[in-house]
Every structure is written in structure tokens, then in C-alpha cells.
Amino acid sequence: MRELSCFRNDEFIGERKLIWCNRRIFLLLFLFLAFLKPESRGQSQDTIVFLSYNLLNYPSAGGSYAADTTARHPHYRTIMNAVNPDILVVQEMNSQTGMNKFLSDVLNSSGNTYSKGPFIDGYDTDNGIFYKTDKFHAVSNTAIATELRDINMFKLVHTLSGDTIRIFSLHLKASSGSSNEAQRGREVDSLRKVTNALAAGTNFIVCGDFNIYGSTETAYQKLLAVTGGNEGQLIDPISLTGNWNQFAYRAYHTQSPRVRAFGGGSTGGMDDRFDLILYSKAISLSGGMKYVSNSQIPYGNDGNLYNDSINKPSNSAVSPAIANALHYASDHIPVKAKFTMEYNTGSVPTDFGPTALLDPVSPMCANANQGMSLRIKNFGALPVDLSTNSLSVNLKVTTPSAGVQVFTETINSGTINAGAFLTVNFGSLIDMSLAGNYSFIGYTSQANDANHANDTLQAVTITVSSTATASISPAGPINMCVGDSAYLSSSSGISYLWSNGSTTQNIYVTDTGSYSVQVTIAGGCSSSSNSVHVGFTPAPLNGIVFYESLGTVGGTTSIASHETANGFDNDAYTMSGTADLRVTTPSGVYGGASGSTNAFFTTSGRIFRIDGINTSGYSNLSLSHGIHKSSTAADGTELLVEYSTNGVDFTALSASPLNTGSGTAVWQYRTMSGTIPSVPNLSIQFRHSSGSVQYRIDDITLSGTSGGAMISASGPTSFCLGDSVVLTANSGNSYYWNNGATTQSITASSSGSYFARVDCFNTDTVSVLVSNCQNVTLNLRAFIQGYYIGNQMMTAVVNPVLYPTLCDSITVELANENPPYNILYTVKSVLATDGTGNFSFPPSVLNQSFYIVAKHRNALETWSSVPVAFNSTSVLYDFSTTAGKAYGNNLANMDGEFCFYSGDVSDGITPGTQDGIINKDDNDSLENSLSLFTTGYSVYDLTGDGLVESADFSLIGTNINQGISVMRP
């Protein structure tokens, strides 16, 4: 130990000895650290498999990948699965589509291992790069222009070390000869300008199809040349002197794996070393990135294939399947090399990012409490302990109303393995009850994340549909006649499930009960409707006004609760009373007894009452019912049957006494005597008047003779398409039309036969005929004096820019041909600049004659000279041909074309109001507008040029001098 000591205790040390001692300690420390293994210093290495491959004009067939899908993709997949590169650099890539398809159909055909770098589409074929996302992420792609094809510089970042690697991919000029060699040299000059400018110690690789034939070629010499002041030179780990196509170098040849011509590639067998992987000086030094000695090989070349194909039998380098794949995929074989990347294990960079939004999923139904989950991936090459390196997972949500919410979950426990996924469920819920599109952006953040390129998930749009609102039409309650069916229609959707099991939008039901429907709309949203109750109104086929069997009960039930539950047959009526309902025990029953439920009168004072019976239109009304007594001595006189027309005053009906004596305490049937009135609101009451005998009743039937039901129409039942007629049935308690309507009146707008049942009586049938009537078009031609510019044309007044072919609107009226010539029809339309206009009148004008009256906002009202016959659906009238086309020849002659006089703009009281004469009042109004410098669309602009100026003043003055006024028959 003393030998290692620099000084003794309390010993004075001179300056020289102290210096020597310090050097000794430093040397020992250096030697100790130098001989430590990298792992002992917290360092580790990541081995990188690097592959450079000329794909041969990919995609083929002019950039279409369709042919490659079956022809070459299987071979590419075989090669890539065998090599399993961490970085793949390709040449002769033709398009971004090619990059996408090679990634999806070859590299990621059975997983999601690789990503692609940025692609630049340059002249001729291009370069591309692919990499494993658990080891690298792409930064950039820079094109270096040459005389022929771009050289591309790709930047990748190694996730574990954080080091940046520059990879240059090139495809130099092909073919031998001095001019081609010289051009390759100049292309290398372009490359060296970039590599020479890189900082000393920069890691870079140059790979691709060099098309160099030997070590003496200028381009090769320039690649390896060491120049002062920079480290831009390249190192070839395989040093071959002279020409490279000689037999001695057969193990290093990369072209061609074929001896036959196909697919556009070169032939001739394996005899050229065109494909190389070169690297920078920094990679040859210790530490950081380093080339693995003797790792560069032409993949698949076993050295025994000189001038022969790669799939020559007994290839010892690869299997026959791989050899065949290399043969058919390209006219080059790939070059493979290995590199190591040193990284610090003490603080390993991570690489997390979101890969998918798992919940919600589009499309979806509105949900006020929607959960959210995001899938996260560890893209890195090592497991990550989240307890020491927490991960923040975020969701940014933009709602249809542009509101923004951010949700965050912090993951600070557990370990996620390399390449593993984690589902993150957010603890918060989001309100997505508003229909529309929601944007979800997921992103992660972590202190050591080395690759921010995959931290954010591209925005996911979730489309939310409004919650279905199911409904049934009619809303009910519905009372149908015995033997009929009720039509129920659901609100629209894509699927339906009714409470009775039906799955159509519309159903017919023949049984009483409550019906509901569940409607599903697009997007899978569903809703259930309210229930619609369907009950019976007795059918009139046998003269029955109504029939009531009292429904079904499971035990003693009050009348009120049974009524509330719509348990009676006749929901249209109101049932009440102090009796109760019980299950019938048949004994001595009569024919047709329902035998289910009875109204039970235990003691005196109990009643059962039915209100709201419409007996209007009936005669010979008769009431019958089943009756049961508890005593053989009772004759039924204690149970009174009464009716009322006002609900207050009741009149008793009479009946023959019931049988008495042994065996008569059973069910019997009786018919009441007495006159029951025909009224719209009859009440019937059963009342226990006295005594202790218990009575039961069932099967209440009111019958009578009907006077029939009618339908009245609000107008003609034959009309034109677009019109309608209201059909109204006579008064009743319930209505059921053959189109499903349940109102007293309906509107019919389509052809068909219409009838209804009113209180179960059929109405007469009304036939409605709707015709497709054609309007009558008046094809009019007319000119307005002030707008006329010659050659049978007028100026464009409304908007010369937007509507250069439109002049101005006019109103055309049709007047009765006979005194007092009333105006019968009025239509407004637009005259074109050539004077033509179309005016559509209803079909009712056919086969009649009318005076045509034309009116314009600043022109004189003008009538046709004679009534015009409208005998067809197209009528022509031209005011412009002669003055005689207007009544009283009241037209202005403008170079042989006849026009409406301009200038009627005032009645002397209200400017802009016409009075049928062009006089001083019009002149004064125009002069006032002139003084105000009026512009735009003005009634005073007689010439239509957008200005009220002297030309308008001159025109009105001329017409005033002629004493022009309207002329009518």
C-alpha cells in the first residue's frame, strides 16, 4: 500500500514531487476506467441491422402497385422476414404511394413494426427509408441535386442513445464508359460538398446503387479521398483493388441475380459489385456508433454464383425460398451490415405515444355521460418502470359548439414492456349529448421521451347522432270496432321492435291492449315510445251499440283502479262506482257468457255506472246483461238498471222477475224494458237499492237500429295536383278512417276512396280524383321605351353584372273580355333583354279569352288590342310588331319596334305611384329626383343606366308633349 502512496504523514512535498504524484494518480485512474467493461460504467450497446436494397422500379407498371401485389410483394416479404432489418434504405422508389404500399403490404403485413421516413418525389426514381419504430424515429429528408437523380440525406434519431445518424442514399449514373464514369464523379462531388461540411465526429452512412466498376474509378476515389480540414471521406470496410467484376471478388457481387430477362431488370448473372454501404470516420472510432467488423455482406450471395443466377441450386447462403425471392423481386440483391449504438443505461430515453382512441367509437348515440379510453404503446426497445418515470396521458376534445376540454390521466405504477400496449381509461366522463362532430386528439408527455414525433395521435372525429325519439301515430287511446284492426305507425328509423314482436314500421292490431315500439335510427341509437292503448267499441254488424265484458282481473279489484289501468273493453266510456270487480265462477251460465270478470254488488247502495255512450242515430235501443243472485228467493228487483241523459237525473228500466226457487242462485240473462233515448251522451247505472242479497252482473250489451253515418266534403272532390279537400264525418265518439286517421275530419290530397267508421258504423265512401293539371304559359314579347337600345334589345337593368341577359320585371294581368273588364288573374315575371318573358297561369284559364294587361314600374299601362284566346297550354302574344297590337295603338315607335311608353312615375301626390297618364306631375317628381343625384335601381331611371340624369328628363318631356295616357276598352 505504501508503494501507491505519494507522500508520508507530515512530510513536506516539493513542487516537482507533487506534480509527479498527481500524474501517477491520474494514470492509475485512467487505466482503471479504461479496462472497465462498458456495462460497469453504465453503458450498453444496441445492435442495428442495416439493409440497402435497389427495389427495381417500384411500384412497377407506371407507378401502379396492383401488379406488384401478387407478383413481387410475396418475394419482398420473404426477404424482409429473413433479414429483419432495423433500418431499410431503398432505391428506385417511384412514388409516395409506393412508400405507403411497401410499408403496409410488405414490412407491416403481419404487424405494425416499421414506419417510413419523409419522401421527396424528385426527377427519375427516388430514395426511401424505413425503420423500426422501437429503435428510431425520423427527423428529416434533404434532397441533394445532381445531374441525374437526387441523393437524399435522411436523419434518424436512435431512441436509446439520442444520437442522430445521417444516412445518404444514392443511385449514381449507370453504365461503363468514360463519360458515364465522369458523370458519376461529378455526382459524388455533390455528395462530398455536403459531407465535407459536416462537423468532425458526425456519424453518417452512404449506401445505395453506386454503379461503380472498380477501385480506380474516379467516383470511388473521390468517395474515399481524405481532404484537409474535414471528415467528409467515406470508409469501405471491404477493400477490393482493381476491377470488381472478376472471379476473385465473386463473393461481393450484388448484380444481377438473374440470367434471363423479365420484369424490366438487368440480366447476366452475379458479376458486378454495384451496391455498397460506406461509413464515416466517426463510426470507425471507439464509442458511440460503430461498424461491426466483417458484417457487410451481399445478402444471399454464397460466393459460388459467378455469372449465374442467385437461385442456382445448392445456394449455401440462404434457403431455396429466399434465393427464389431474391431472383424474382429485383435485379439487385440487398447489402446487409451491422452497427452498434452505445447508450447510457443509467438514464434510458423512453418513447411512448398514443396509437388509437378506443372509446368513444364513431358513429355513436348522444350520451351525457360518455367514458373515454386511449391505447398507448411503448415504442422503445426496453421496458419502462412507470413508478420511477411517470407518464402523462391526455385527451383534448373539441365539441360541435367549438368548446374545448382537456382530460389528463397520470400513470405512475407498473412496468410496460418494449412494444407493449396499455389501455388508459379516463376517470372523468364527457357530456356528448349534443349531436354533431367531436374532435379527439390524444397525446402523451414524459420527462425522458426521446421521440416527440409520435407523441400525438392524429385527430379522431366522432360523429354523434341525436337520440331517437320514438312515437306512435295515432297517439291513442284508440277504440276499434269488434272484428276490425287498428293501424299503428311508428316514427321513422332503420329498425323497429314492437311490444307484440313485430319488426315493421307500421302494424295492424286486432287485439286490445297497450302497444309500444322501440325505434333504432342510423348510428344504432334507439328509443322506446309511450304506450298506446287499443280498446274495443262494439261492432254494429248485429245492431250492437256497445258490449262490455268487464275485461280480466286476477282478484278483487276496484272499479277505479281497473278504469285507470284501461282494463275495461270500452276505453271511450267512463266507468265508475262503488261495486268491485271479481273473478267469475261459472254456474248455470247462459249462451255467449264471457265467464271472466263480473261486477259484484255486496250490499245496498253499491253502484256501477257507465258514462259517455253516444246513441245518436239509433232507434229501438235495448239493454241486456248477465246477472247472478246469491239467494234462490230473490227475483232481481233490488238491482235497478237506470239511464240518464244529463248524468244527474236517472230513469229506471224495468225487467221481468228472475226465476226463484231451488237451483236459481246461478247466472241468468235478462233484457230490460223501457224506452232508451237517442242522445250523444247517455249514462247507464246499475244500483243495488235494498236488501242483503248479493248480485253480480256481466256481459252488458246495448243494441239498436242505426240510421247510418255520412261524410261531407268541403269542396269538389276532383281537383288538380297540389290542391286538397277536407272530408268530415258526422258526429260521434270515435272515428277510424281507412287511412288510419282517428279525427272527425281529414284532408285528402291524393286520389282514392275514403270512408270511416263512426262509433263502429260505416260511412258512405267518397272518391277523390287528383289530376296532374298543366298550367298555361303566356309567351310574351314586349319592349319598354326608355330601356330600348336598338336591334330588338333592351339594357340589363336589374343587375348588369350578375344577370346580363335580364332587363326588368313586369306584371301581366288577364282581364275579362266583357265589361266591366275585371282583372281575373295576375302574374309577375321578368322580361329578358330581347323582350321575351314567360308568364304561367293556372289551368282554369284554358278555353277562355282575356285582354292582356302589361304593367311596369315606370311605363304606361298597356292593354292588348283585342281579347286573346287561351285555347292551349302555350299562348304567344307580341306587342312589338305593330302599334295595332296595343289597344288604341298606344305604343311608341322606336325604329320600327313598338314599345310601352316610359314616364308614368307619379300621380301628383305620392312619388312612384302611377295614375295612367304622363304629365307634369311625373316631370316634377323626376326633376326632384334629378336634383338629389339619385343612383341605383330607381323608378325615375327611365333609361335603366343606374343614374337619374338628363336623358331621363329629356325622354319624359317628349312624352308629355304628346299627351300620352293609358287606353282601355
User: pLDDT for 313-361, tens place per residue?
Assistant: 889 999 999 999 999 999 999 999 999 999 887 667 788 999 999 999 9
Of 93-107, 327-341, 737-751, minimum mean pLDDT range: 737-751
Q: Residue 481's pLDDT is what?
A: 66
Q: How confident is the model at residue 39 (pLDDT cuts 50, 70, 90)?
A: very low
Q: What is the DSSP letter of 632?
A: S
Q: Residue 2's pLDDT is what?
A: 34
**Over 90: is that where the pLDDT of 907 sits?**
no
**What's the rounded mean pLDDT across residues 912-934?**
87
Q: Among candidates 284, 341, 381, which has minimal Cα distance to 46? A: 341
**What's the rounded mean pLDDT across residues 6-16?**
36
Cell of residue 293, nine digits: 467488423
Q: How many helices (H) and strands (E) does the chain have?
A: 12, 67
**Over 80: is that where the pLDDT of 285 sits?**
yes
Q: Residue 906's pLDDT is what?
A: 86
Q: Residue 399's pLDDT is what?
A: 95
Q: Residue 346's pLDDT is what?
A: 64
**Over 90: is that where the pLDDT of 93 sits?**
yes
Of 85-89, 249-253, 903-907, minimum mean pLDDT range: 903-907
Q: Residue 289's pLDDT is what?
A: 95
Q: Among candidates 783, 726, 781, 780, which has minimal Cα distance to 749? A: 726
Those residues with Cβ within 8 angstroms of residue 312's Cβ, 6 or more apart along the chain or in another chain: 304, 305, 323
**pLDDT by residue (tens digit) across 363-376?**
888 889 999 999 99
**What's the rounded mean pLDDT across residues 399-428?**
94
Give the Cα separation of 352 and 424 in Å (integer). 13
**What's the rounded mean pLDDT across residues 488-493?**
90
**pLDDT by residue (tens digit) across 587-622?**
777 767 888 899 999 999 999 999 999 887 788 899
Strand partners, 878: 781
**What's the rounded mean pLDDT across residues 885-909?**
93
Q: How confident is the model at residue 37 (pLDDT cuts 50, 70, 90)?
A: very low
**What's the rounded mean pLDDT across residues 416-423?**
92
Q: Among candidates 47, 54, 45, which has minimal Cα distance to 337? A: 47
Angle at 652 between CA 649 and CA 655, to 5 degrees: 170
Of 604-608, 661-665, 793-797, minimum mean pLDDT range: 661-665
Q: Where are the alpha helices (DSSP H) in 271-417?
A: 281-284, 320-329
Give the Cα separation of 890 and 63 in Å (integer). 76
**What's the rounded mean pLDDT across residues 45-63?**
89
End-to-end CA distance of the chain: 143
**pLDDT by residue (tens digit) across 174-227?**
999 999 999 999 999 999 999 999 999 999 999 999 999 999 999 999 999 999
User: Do residues 168 and 205 touch, judged by C-beta distance below 8 A?
Assistant: yes
Residue count of the chain, please give it.
Answer: 969
Give the Cα separation of 899 and 783 in Å (integer). 5
Q: How confident is the model at residue 821 (pLDDT cuts 50, 70, 90)?
A: very high
Cell of residue 942, nine digits: 327611365
Angle at 469 between CA 465 and CA 471, to 5 degrees: 155
**Over 60: is that where the pLDDT of 36 sits?**
no
Give the Cα separation of 685 and 696 in Å (integer). 14
Those residues with Cβ within 8 angstroms of residue 224's Cβ, 6 or more apart along the chain or in another chain: 233, 234, 235, 236
**What's the rounded mean pLDDT across residues 547-554?**
90
Strand partners, 229: none
Angle at 879 between CA 876 and CA 884, to 5 degrees: 115
Give the Cα separation of 657 and 860 in Å (integer). 95
Q: How confident is the model at residue 6 (pLDDT cuts 50, 70, 90)?
A: very low
**What's the rounded mean pLDDT across residues 790-799?**
94
Give the Cα separation of 44 and 340 in Å (integer). 10
**What's the rounded mean pLDDT across residues 793-804?**
92
Residue 90 or residue 710, greater confidence: 90
What are the distances in angstroms from CA 879 to CA 41, 791, 882?
107, 16, 7
Mean pLDDT, the chain, as a whole number?
A: 89
**Over 80: is that where the pLDDT of 135 sits?**
yes
Going through 412-548 in order, the beta strands assigned E by DSSP cover 415-416, 421-425, 430-432, 436-445, 460-465, 472-473, 478-481, 486-490, 495-498, 506-509, 513-515, 517-520, 526-528, 532-537, 544-548
Give the Cα separation of 938 and 916 in Å (integer). 19
Q: Residue 477's pLDDT is what?
A: 80
Q: Residue 541's pLDDT is what?
A: 44
**What's the rounded mean pLDDT across residues 372-384?**
91
Within its chain, how far is the Cα of 902 from the centroid? 56
pTM (two decimals): 0.47
Q: Residue 1's pLDDT is what?
A: 32
Q: How confident is the model at residue 283 (pLDDT cuts 50, 70, 90)?
A: very high
Backbone angles phi, psi at 329, to 5 degrees: -75, -40
**Over 80: is that where the pLDDT of 3 sits?**
no
Positive or negative torsion for Cα 98, 99, 104, 110: positive
Strand partners, 609: 576, 685
**Over 90: is that where the pLDDT of 718 sits?**
no
Q: How confident is the model at residue 841 (pLDDT cuts 50, 70, 90)?
A: very high
